């Protein structure tokens, strides 16, 4: 659950239309109740009704007794009276200096960031129906747009990360073939995990949106170590098969231990009470396991394939 603030420009309290404006606020609140995902709202009219008390109930405080005595007075007079005795209570919903009134909109949870954005648009549309300058505010709106931005940018960041990795590996190995080869065992688990999330209907959030670029940056390290060792063995005079075996027997063990250490670190995130953090830790763990398997089992097979179709890229 969360909430937004719907800000409405108000006339001066002494203006003739102020009493009608209070009724307009009530009408806005009535329409807000029909928006999917809105569980309620509160503003100045609710505050006035609450302090007037329920029929048959004796006023308990001085403010309640004063408000009960002004029960038939115009809303303007009631609000001025309440402001005099409870200024802190009123200021949360009405800023007299700036002539704005706030409607606090309580919302329930909705699945998916787009559904929340649609709800926000509906709330603003109702407000602007009565006041062209109506606008929404609140920390939850900032979070929604942050998540939306991260979701739209995730493939851009992933693409930039991949491009940067290819450039650096090409310079390091002096081989575009090896650079592209290193991407396959590391990008495949990421694409499989994200594809599975979509197939299962799991929504991306602020944490899981970073999955692709973070996992790619971590997993590609193991390919670099493996390929570097493999190239070193080739240059030292070993044949292709011996170089593969030597790389497996040396760097392979180090890759396993380093990967398990990373997995243990990310698994700690699954102990969090914050669901996006739990999901991020779990998904990165799955991707790292997939990358480990691919680097130890698929990468050697890819090297054999590259040896056949593009032997010069191996430096042979």
CB 78 within 8 A of CB 67: yes
The H or E element containing residue 275 is: helix 275-293
Q: Structurally, what CATH architecture does the domain formed by 156-314 represent?
A: Up-down Bundle (1.20)
Q: Is the dihedral of CA 234, 238, 244, 245 positive or negative?
A: negative
Supply 154's token pair.
């995730």
Strands 38-42 and 135-137: unpaired
CB 303 within 8 A of CB 184: no
- Residue 223 to residue 232: CA distance in whole angstroms: 14
Residues ≥6 apart with Cβ < 8 Å to 256: 292, 296
Per DSSP, 44 falls in state: H
Of the chain, the percentage scoring pLDDT greater than 70 comes to 89
Supply 170's token pair.
């090409």
Supply 141's token pair.
């709106």
CB 127 within 8 A of CB 135: yes
Where do the structural domains in the chain lie, given as residue ranges?
A: 2-137, 156-314
Give me the average pLDDT of each 10-residue run along the chain (316 residues): 82 84 90 88 80 52 54 68 73 85 83 76 91 86 75 80 89 88 91 89 77 86 91 88 90 91 93 89 93 91 88 71
pLDDT reported for residue 275 = 85
């Amino acid at each position: 659950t969360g909430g937004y603030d719907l800000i409405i420009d108000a006339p001066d309290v002494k203006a003739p239309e102020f009493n009608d404006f209070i009724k307009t606020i009530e009408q806005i609140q009535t329409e807000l109740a029909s928006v999917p995902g809105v569980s309620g709202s509160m503003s100045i009219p609710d505050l006035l009704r609450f302090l007037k008390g329920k029929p048959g109930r004796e006023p308990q405080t001085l403010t309640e007794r004063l408000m009960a005595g002004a029960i038939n007075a115009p809303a303007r007079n009631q609000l001025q009276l309440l402001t005099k005795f409870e200024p802190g209570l009123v200021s949360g919903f009405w800023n007299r200096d700036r002539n704005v009134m706030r409607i606090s909109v309580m919302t329930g949870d909705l699945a998916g960031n787009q559904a929340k954005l649609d709800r926000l648009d509906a709330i603003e549309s109702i407000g602007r129906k009565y006041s062209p300058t109506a606008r929404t505010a609140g920390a939850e709106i900032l979070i929604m747009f942050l998540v939306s931005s991260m979701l739209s940018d995730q493939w851009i960041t992933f693409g930039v990360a991949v491009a940067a990795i290819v450039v650096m590996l090409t310079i390091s190995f002096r081989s575009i073939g090896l650079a592209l080869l290193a991407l396959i065992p590391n990008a495949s688990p990421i694409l499989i995990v994200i594809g599975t999330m979509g197939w299962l209907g799991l929504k991306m959030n602020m944490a899981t949106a970073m999955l692709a670029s973070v996992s790619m940056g971590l997993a590609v390290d193991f390919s670099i170590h493996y390929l570097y060792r493999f190239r070193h063995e080739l240059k030292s005079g070993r044949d292709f098969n011996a170089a593969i075996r030597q790389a497996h027997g040396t760097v392979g063990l180090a890759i396993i231990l380093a990967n398990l250490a990373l997995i243990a670190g990310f698994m700690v995130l699954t102990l969090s009470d914050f669901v996006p953090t739990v999901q991020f830790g779990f998904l990165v763990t799955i991707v790292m396991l997939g990358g480990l398997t691919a680097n130890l089992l698929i990468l050697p097979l890819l090297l054999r394939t590259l040896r056949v179709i593009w032997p010069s890229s191996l430096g042979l």
